[in-house]
Structure 1
Amino acid sequence: MQFSPKRLFNRVTGIVFGLMLLFLTIGIILGTGHLFMQVFEMARSDEITRGYLDIISEVLSLFVLIELSRSLAEYFRVNRLRLTFIVDAAIVFVLREIMIELFEGKLIVDRTYALSALLFVLGALRIGSVLVYQRGEALGLNNDDN
């Protein structure tokens, strides 16, 4: 058997991404358990509003973890990271920040403009990556066997 740097790289990358996916999955499971515990604590507490804000923050954080895990799971299917899943995770993260600030009443105009511009760029990048991928599909350039 001959030494191949590319094969070694692919194997190490697969192991690293596998470990990352494992830790993200554990994080999602623990986050979901923590979310249920927060709901029970909120039911016993007098401060419903504060507990509600914490639950919203937890749910949105779980969405980010789920998008990242989807990206890594897709890597194992096609042996490459798809930009659309990574951009989706970034969009969910920015929306999470906006929604948390909105629910807490701490929305600052300048920050809102900056996050809106970032969302616009991420949305354009998402649309562009889908169009490029679809064009590659139409031309037969996207090969999932590589």
Structure 2
Amino acid sequence: MKRLLFLFLLPALALPVCAQSLTSKVKTSAPIKDFRLPSFDKNGKRSIFMRAGEALIVSPTRIDVKDMQLTSFTKDGTGAFDTVILAPSATFIPVKDKEFVSGNESVRLIRENLEVTGEQWSYNHPEKRVLIGNNARVTFQDELKDIIK
């Protein structure tokens, strides 16, 4: 009787172990709607905030997004925005202190005094550097005094 009970319970005990090993390998292919991802500096102040209409977490170090709005904040802690980047699609690398975003489609970068548009772009957040590969256009909002004499 004990042997029969043991043979009956053995598969039931093994089931949670098998289920756990299977779930650790499963990755979701369903996108996240209305995605939001804040990032903070070492002092707890907002550094960047990403919004996307849709996001697919490909890995812990890669997120593919659609309808992206990335807001970068000033370092003074006031919560004022420094730069806003808009793109229909992008790949975001959310590694702390190495945040990087890039895309092949169009991009629009907005700051207080200028606006930049283009295609095939990348943004390195720690360096605050934007590279645009094609069709770059820069529009200054400030008055340029004495530029031509």
Task: Indicate the structure whose relative CO is greater, using CA pairs within 8 Å and at least 6 residues apart.
Answer: 1
TM range (shorter): under 0.3
Higher helix share: 1
Q: Which has the higher strand share?
A: 2
What TM-score does the superposition give when structure 1 sets the normalisation length? Answer: 0.24
